[in-house]
Amino acid sequence: MTRYLEIWLASARYSVTRTLMFRFDFFLWALVELFWMAVNLLLISVIYRHTDSVAGWNKYEMLLLVGTSLLVQRFLMGFFWSSLFEMGRNIRSGNFDFFLAQPGNVLFMASTRKLDPDGLMNSFVAMGVVAYAARQLGLQPSVLDISLYAVMILCGLIIHYSMLVITISLAFWLTSAQGIEGSYFTLAEFSRLPREAFKGVASIVFVWFLPVVIVSNAPARTLLRGFDPLWGLGLLAATLVWFSAAVIVFHRGLRRYTSASS
């Protein structure tokens, strides 16, 4: 693990150095992401001008939920998105050979090569949104509640990472997976909705089969109502299942990779 940490730190230093070489790009993309986050937050303000509650959630409870969802996504964008998106293109072009030749786990090397400081910078904005909403609600979470919230955020990050790995791994079978890669963002939109908004088939699909809802709802509920063992166990189980599925699908696809030489 120490060796892999050293490899990741080396990649992170390279990414930061490269970002500082193109400062305008860094600030531009940081502003684009900030604008996108602002649109999501303004949408909440517009909705709650016409109602006091959505699926039993008031304005600041919804703001805390959306802030939690944005926090998970900013971490995903900062730590993994560029590497995974590039991985899909490398598989199709045959440049994935570069990672096969490296002395380390292929999935780790391919998915942690690049770091996006702009995405990580906006994670502090998402944290600020969560803190502001908690203050408006008069919440005083204990150190244990905050620790559990952080662990659940980590679980949510792993789930989103796993879903993205599975999506990108389809490039091993398909000529082009660009449309499928974009579908990830469509699924991620549902993570900003409360669990109570999903009924019937929608509940089965987006809560139980694709756990995009519990990724944000479980940590948000921990701050709002305290730790619920059922939600915690459900999130942990989903994390283990999805990460295992991602590893299996990736390695199954890797067997089909024919490399640039063939």
Q: Give residue-wise pLDDT tens across range 154-188.
A: 999 999 999 989 988 888 887 665 666 666 777 77
With residues binned 3-state (H G I as helix, E B as strand, rest as coil), the percentages for the chain, rounded to 5, are: 80, 0, 20
Q: Is residue 117 a contact partner of residue 80, using CB atoms and an 8 Å limit?
A: no
The backbone torsions φ and ψ at residue 239, rounded to the nearest 5 degrees and listed phi first, read -60, -50
Give the closest residue to 102 by CA, choosing from 93, 112, 88.
112
Angle between helices 178-189 and 82-93 (to 10 degrees): 160
Average pLDDT over residues 240-244: 95
- In this prediction, residue 241 has a pLDDT band, given cuts at 50, 70 and 90, of very high
Average pLDDT over residues 215-235: 90
CA 113 to each of CA 86, 97, 163: distance values in angstroms, whole numbers, following the listed order: 10, 14, 18
Q: Assess whether pLDDT exceeds 60 at residue 260.
A: no
Q: Name the average pLDDT for the chain.
A: 85
- What is the Cα–Cα distance from 245 to 252, expressed in whole angstroms? 10
How many C-beta atoms surround the C-beta of residue 208 within 10 A?
13
* Of residues 257 and 215, more confidently modeled: 215
Q: Assess whether pLDDT exceeds 60 at residue 262.
A: no
* Of residues 211 and 207, more confidently modeled: 211
Q: Is residue 227 a contact partner of residue 145, using CB atoms and an 8 Å limit?
A: yes
- What is the Cα–Cα distance from 211 to 201, expressed in whole angstroms? 14
- What is the Cα–Cα distance from 160 to 255, expressed in whole angstroms? 24
Q: Give residue-wise pLDDT tens across range 63-116.
A: 999 999 999 989 998 899 888 888 888 887 778 888 888 778 899 988 888 888
Instruction: Please give the structure tokens belonging to residue 137.
Output: 């609600």
pLDDT of residue 71: 93
CA 123 to each of CA 1, 69, 76: distance values in angstroms, whole numbers, following the listed order: 26, 11, 10
- In this prediction, residue 222 has a pLDDT band, given cuts at 50, 70 and 90, of very high
Q: Give residue-wise pLDDT tens across range 130-154.
A: 999 999 999 988 899 999 999 999 9
Q: ∠35-39-44 over CA atoms, to 5°?
A: 150
The domain ranges of the chain are 2-254
Percent of the chain exceeding pLDDT 90 equals 31
pLDDT of residue 30: 77
